[in-house]
Amino acid sequence: MASVRYDQATRIYPGTDVPAVDALGLEIADGEFLVLVGPSGSGKTTALRMLAGLEDVDAGSISIGDRDVTDLPPKRRDVAMVFQNYALYPYLTVAANIAFPLRIARVPKEERERRTQEVAELLGLEQYLERKPGQLSGGQRQRVAMGRAIIRQPSVFLMDEPLSNLDAKLRVQMRAEIAALQSRLGTTTVYVTHDQSEAMTLGHRVAVLADGRLQQCDTPRELYAHPANVFVAGFIGSPAMNLCHVRATNGSVQLGGVSFETPAGAQGEIVVGLRPESLELAGDGIPAEVEVVEEIGADSYVFAAAEVGKLVARVDTRLAPERGARISLRPRPGEAHLFDPATGVRLPQPAL
């Protein structure tokens, strides 16, 4: 068990000038489940590989517990990693795959077998121990990969998109299993995903990365309620937040007949962010024409074109308008997020 600390850690791939990870500063507490999330190319996997020791750290440092591991090879960092494609050795049985790290560490055979058995029981893999990975389903392979990480009882688990090769239903199921397993073992875990819903459901805290920079690191609820900038606002939440450029006048912006107070001194355009659930159908508001209606059960998402841009609103399916209908969407007072259009940074919200 250990905490993890990235201190201005930077990675610049040879032959490029742009850092893949730029001065990342992040503290992960002992036993915490931290999710690194971001779009492709945001540097999240690179950040994880730096912690694993698979990538060099070009500036800054990384420590695990009170040990500086910046220049240690992977095997001396006491971390275990689960890979996207599982990286199970096809020529070894499930039991041999799980026990592989112990064999490398020259753990005596009896102990190896005992611990393999324990891990197999923990993951429900007892009856598959003699099979080869090729004979397992995707979910079972995923579990074997987890087993290979667990058996070492490392200080930190690293998981690189471990669920992205599973189908949607299995992914949700394995997500719950991983969360349960992590809270049971209490091992510090760093988990990389591009899927914001996976990040929100799994992480104690979620770190959002874009272009190699940390955008915000907070609890899922805080990220959703108070996104620190336009990027986080647009990335977290599905469908994405509506972002409209609106001109501010006299300390407030007007949108669909509702006025939102702006911080003192804000002039010109500002970005108003509204979640789909912060827009409701009403008699008056922002006039818009319905383009697509996505029914997802109890709720429907209405995608509509308005003068301020495309908008999406969550409405009760029973009240969902037809495609092509002209509707009015009214923002709920007090639910807008305001951002600086130039920097994208969140503007302090005046008290209501």
Partner 1 sequence: MTTAAATAPLVRRRAPAPVRRKRFLIAVANHSILIAIALAFIAPFLFILLTSLMTTNQALSADLWPHPFRLQNFADVFSKAPLARWTFNTMMYSCLATIGVVLSSVPVAYALARLRWRGRDVAFMVVLIALMLPPQVTVVPLYVMWAKLHLVGTLWPLIVPNWLGDAFSIFLLRQFFLTIPEEYLDAARVDGCGELRILFTVVTRLAKPAIAAVALFSFLYTFNDFFLPLLYVGENSHNWVLSLGLAQFRSQHQVQWNLTMAATVLVMAPVIILFFVAQRAFVEGITLTGVKG
CB of 51 to partner 1, least distance (A): 11
Q: How far is the CB of 79 from partner 1 (least distance, A)?
A: 7
Q: Does 337 help bind partner 1 (rule: CB under 8 A)?
A: no
Q: Based on the shown chain and the rule CB under 8 A, indicate whether residue 317 belongs to the binding site for partner 1.
A: no
| Binding residue for partner 1, selected from 29, 71, 91, 238, defined by CB under 8 A | 91
How far apart are CB 131 and partner 1 at their closest, in Å? 17
Q: Please, which residue, 158 or 178, has the CB nearer to partner 1?
A: 158
Quote the least distance from Cβ 199 to partner 1, whole Å: 22
Greatest C-alpha distance within the chain? 77
Taking the least distance from each CB to partner 1, the nearer of 88 and 306 is: 88
Closer to partner 1 by Cβ: residue 59 or 107: 107
Query: Looking at beta carbons only, is 74 or 139 nearer to partner 1?
Result: 74
Measured from the CB atom, is 133 or 227 closer to partner 1? 133
Cβ-based nearer residue to partner 1, 104 or 292: 104
Q: What are phi and psi of 73, to 5 degrees?
A: -70, 160
End-to-end CA separation in angstroms for the chain: 44
Q: Is the backbone of residue 112 left (phi > 0), alpha (psi -120 to 50) or beta?
A: alpha
Does 141 participate in binding partner 1 (rule CB under 8 A)? no
Binding mask 97-116 for partner 1 (x = CB under 8 A): ---xx--xx-----------
Taking the C-alpha atoms of residue 44 and residue 50, their distance in angstroms, rounded to an integer, is 10
Burial 123-155 (b: 16+ CB within 10 A, else e): bebeebbeebbeebeebbbbbbbbbbbbbbebb
Place of tokens 């189908």: 167
Edge-to-edge strand ranges of the sheet holding 188-193? 79-82, 156-160, 188-193, 33-37, 205-210, 213-218
**Minimum CB–partner distance for residue 89 and partner 1 (Å):** 7
Kindly tell me which of 284 and 295 has the beta carbon lying closer to partner 1: 295
119 lies in the binding site for partner 1 (CB under 8 A): no
> CB of 308: closest distance to partner 1 in angstroms?
40
Q: Are 223 and 208 in contact (CB under 8 A)?
A: yes
b/e per residue 189-210 (b: at least 16 CB within 10 A)? bbbbbbbbbbbbebbbbbbbbb
Rounded distance, CA 246 to CA 51, Å? 42
Please give the Cα distance from 323 to 76 (Å, whole number). 60
**Packing angle, helices 94-104 and 138-150, rounded to 10:** 20
Cα angle 284, 275, 176; round to 5:
145
Which residues 34-63 are close enough to bind partner 1 by CB under 8 A?
49, 52-54
Nearer to partner 1, 153 or 219 (CB): 153
Among 115, 143, 148, 171, binds partner 1 (CB under 8 A): 148
In DSSP terms, 274 is beta-bridged to 242
Tell me the number of residues near partner 1 by CB under 8 A. 25
Per CB under 8 A, contacts with partner 1 among 70-89 are: 73-75, 79-81, 83-87, 89
CB 83 within 8 A of CB 160: yes
CB-wise, 178 or 313, nearer to partner 1? 178
**Given the rule CB under 8 A, which residues bind partner 1?**
49, 52-54, 73-75, 79-81, 83-87, 89-91, 100-101, 104-105, 148, 152, 158
